[in-house]
Amino acid sequence: MDERLKDFHLRIQKIGSVDREVNRGIEFVLVIEGKLTIETNSRIYQLKEKDLLVINRNELFEMKGNKENSVLRFTISDSYMDQSYKEYRHQRFECFSQDIDIGREALVDQLRTFFGEMVITYFRKDDIYTIEMQRIVSEILLILIRRFKEEGNALGQLDAEDDRIVQLIDYMERHYQEPITLEQMAQKLYMSPGYLSRYFKRKMGIGFSRFLMDIRLKHSMKDLLYTSDSIASIAMNNGFPNTKSFTSFFKELYEETPKVYRERHMKEKMNIDKTASIKGVETLTNSSAIFLQLGSLLAETNKTYSNTETRFEELHMDVSILSSDKITRPDHVLIIRELKELLKEDIREQVLAVKEELRLSYIGIQNLVSSASFLPTVETDETIATSSPYFKADMAINFLIKHDLAIFSRVSYQDISTDEASYFKKLDSFLRHCLQVYGETYVSKWHVLYHESYVTAVDSKELRRMYTKLYSVVKKVVPGIHIGVYLPFSYEKEQTTEHHMWILQEEEHIDFIGFHANQNEVIDFEETSSDRFLLAKDYIKEKTNKVKYYLKQHQIDKPLHLVTWNTLSGNTRYTNGTFFRGALVLKSAWDISNDVQSLAFWINTELHEVDDQHHRIQLEGMELFHYFNGKRPAFYAMLFAEKLTGSIVAQGPDFIMTEYERGYQLILMNCINVNPYFSIEDAFLKKLNKDVRVIISGLKQGEYQVRKYTYDKDNGALYTNWWNLGSKHGVDIEIAEYINRLSHPSLQIFDETIDGDWSFYSYLTINAIHFFDIRKSFI
């Protein structure tokens, strides 16, 4: 091997037996064919085809293989690890493919793939094979260190160059069943007992007697888990003077008695094949058979895992602690702009989809008496007219009544002031018509929101006069209708404008308050610093709290309706495809669910843009659909919120867990606010991914089926598929329908036996949502 690769040792072997030895460096063992048993000082591993195991430095091990096996072994030296990773001596790596928690299977697949590349590269030995080998080793170590490291122990920190300590520990490992004393060891090493005690403690960080006891406990563990020997026999066979001493030390380390530990963790008795076709090890050549076996093994691996610089977090939850938190669900409003839109079949399909999957209470329209929804009045000499100006409106309202939906109408000052007398005449007539045809109970469910924008030239007194007139006209006909007002509100100044101060004096004539919250409004998109975009974090929640506090200061306590809102999106024509924001939508909606009466969504949002290309941002609400009924990220984000049921047992900034009649549900999110323009650089976004180890205590014991839904830019995002299947020649309905069929969150199913703490890993890309339905089995 090249001198630059002297710290790496790769071999493919047929293993009969390997006598007990202490591992130097880190060794990876990958079984290509057959079976292999590896016994360490604390455990017995039975590896079959495709299994991967990492043996740590200074770990004692022995191997036995069946008659037909081929095994890849790869060792990285201590000196290389010391130079490359300063924490090496203080860490150990727990990686055995059979023990991998849910969510880490792809990591092991990636390691297998790298070893396959390594074998091919090593035997091919082209002109750049040294560089390629170093690259592969670096990839393997990045995964190992970032994903599988744990706190090390004294044995891992042992200096292998210290012959006296190595000799001493080797003796203790081989004779742990026998009586061993400090005086006896001092005599063997020609040292005084006192000096040996101090020297051992300084080198190992632990006393001699405690270290010896730990060795005996680790070896006793194998007898407990893999044999039916009595506790007394196990104690005597592992060097303990009696059962009481063994039980006492065991309980001190493992916090339960050997008997209880055995009952909880007993393994199946292992039938180890003692016959080996060869004694020792036979190193195999680069035969075509080996490459075929290796290729077959790698072809079966799952989707590869892109290893990147990510954040690692541990999330601990105890669901046994009772919680009084309940799920609160605001009403949903779907804005369609004009009532007449409900006459269109595709709009009706979308409305019914939202009704069925997301819940829907109101249909939002821009103007209750829009001329677009009324037919022109026709002069006739008929005593009873056979035509009605409300024909189209009636058809739409009949559809609403059939599906238990009410109207949420926005009425602007401009709508009224264009022809005030005519407007109020139309409004009075229409309300009386609806009262006559549909009854007061139904019409009283409607909401009417008086709206004037933040920037207005209309005088405050005039705005107030128009509102009080609107309130009077509507309430006179249908007293039960809810009349509210839109409150323009400055996040920075924490107040409304002078033009809208009159709202604070009309508390008794206001049934509800509407407001607006959009993360984009606090961002200058000409800025490139990511820190600037942290201003958007929790913006919707914080603005809602500021509005509530402002109204409370003025003794106003009215239901709040978030009539338009949006998460960070930037220029949607260029960034929405890569700047996936599902988790931002879900978190924003969840954060304010206790504070608002309703949340509004749009079927299709108009883009309000100014000429300056740097400021073209989407200002209106959250869209649920794309062209050809494609569902946008907001739809699926809210779908997960609707799937969540039961009582909340744990929650935090990026997770929610509930218990319900069938088991448990858990939502994990990776919420990131970042300049959307950076989203074009995929490598930058990957650095914002998050790897979470979830540890849940207090789950009820039993068999569970775990359903994991993944929703991220690679699993269900509409734009990803739209881009991949798009064409400069256009997208027809066949392509669009195919894209829509692909654009669903992915689903994985796992069977789990839970009898204590349950742990698993979730790798979340930027703004990803992972939804777990943990269903208890009753079979």
DSSP letters, 215-248, are HHHHHHHHHHHH----HHHHHHHTT-SSHHHHHH
Q: pLDDT tens for residues 155-187? A: 545 555 667 877 787 788 778 888 888 888 888
Res 51: pLDDT: 94
Res 381: pLDDT: 53
Q: Which of 5-14, 100-109, 566-575, 602-611: highest mean pLDDT?
A: 5-14
Query: Is the confidence at residue 406, as pLDDT, over 90?
Result: yes
The reply to whether CATH 1.10.10.60 applies to domain 156-265 is yes
Q: Where in the chain is the domain with CATH 2.60.120.10?
A: 3-152+295-305
Beta strands 406-412 and 447-451 are: parallel
Rg value, the chain, Cα: 35
Query: Is the confidence at residue 536, as pLDDT, over 50?
Result: yes
Classify burial at 500, counting beta carbons within 10 Å of its beta carbon; exposed 0-12, middle 13-18, buried 19 or more. buried
Q: pLDDT tens for residues 618-669? A: 445 788 988 677 888 899 999 999 999 999 999 999 999 999 999 999 999 9
Alpha helices in 528-646 (DSSP H): 539-553, 572-575, 582-591, 633-643
Q: pLDDT tens for residues 26-77? A: 999 999 989 999 988 778 899 999 999 999 987 888 899 987 889 999 999 9
Three-state SS at 495:
strand
When pLDDT is averaged across residues 713-732 and rounded to a whole number, the result is: 76
User: Which of the four pLDDT bands, split at 50, 70 and 90, describes residue 394?
Assistant: very high
Query: Is the confidence at residue 562, as pLDDT, over 80?
Result: yes
Res 647: pLDDT: 92
Res 737: pLDDT: 80
Mean of pLDDT over the chain: 84
Contact 85, 145 (CB under 8 A): yes
Res 421: pLDDT: 95
Distance from C-alpha of 317 to C-alpha of 693, rounded to nearest angstrom: 11
User: Which of the four pLDDT bands, split at 50, 70 and 90, describes residue 545?
Assistant: very high
When pLDDT is averaged across residues 465-486 and rounded to a whole number, the result is: 97
Q: Where in the chain is the domain with CATH 1.10.10.60?
A: 156-265
Q: How many Cα neighbours within 13 Å face the side chain of 391?
A: 9
Q: Which residue has the higher pLDDT, 157 or 129?
A: 129
For residue 182, the surrounding DSSP H or E stretch is helix 182-188
Res 568: pLDDT: 76
Q: pLDDT tens for residues 569-614? A: 654 444 444 578 899 999 999 999 999 999 999 986 443 333 334 3
Kindly state the tokens that stand for 642: 């609707």
Kindly state the tokens that stand for 329: 């669900």
CA nearest neighbour of 73 among 241, 237, 278, 282: 282
Of the candidate ranges 163-167, 233-237, 358-362, 487-491, the one whose mean pLDDT is the lowest: 163-167
In CATH terms, the superfamily for domain 3-152+295-305 is: Jelly Rolls (2.60.120.10)
**Sequential DSSP letters for 665-713:** EEEEE------GGGGG-HHHHHTT-EEEEEEEESPPPEEEEEEEEEEBT
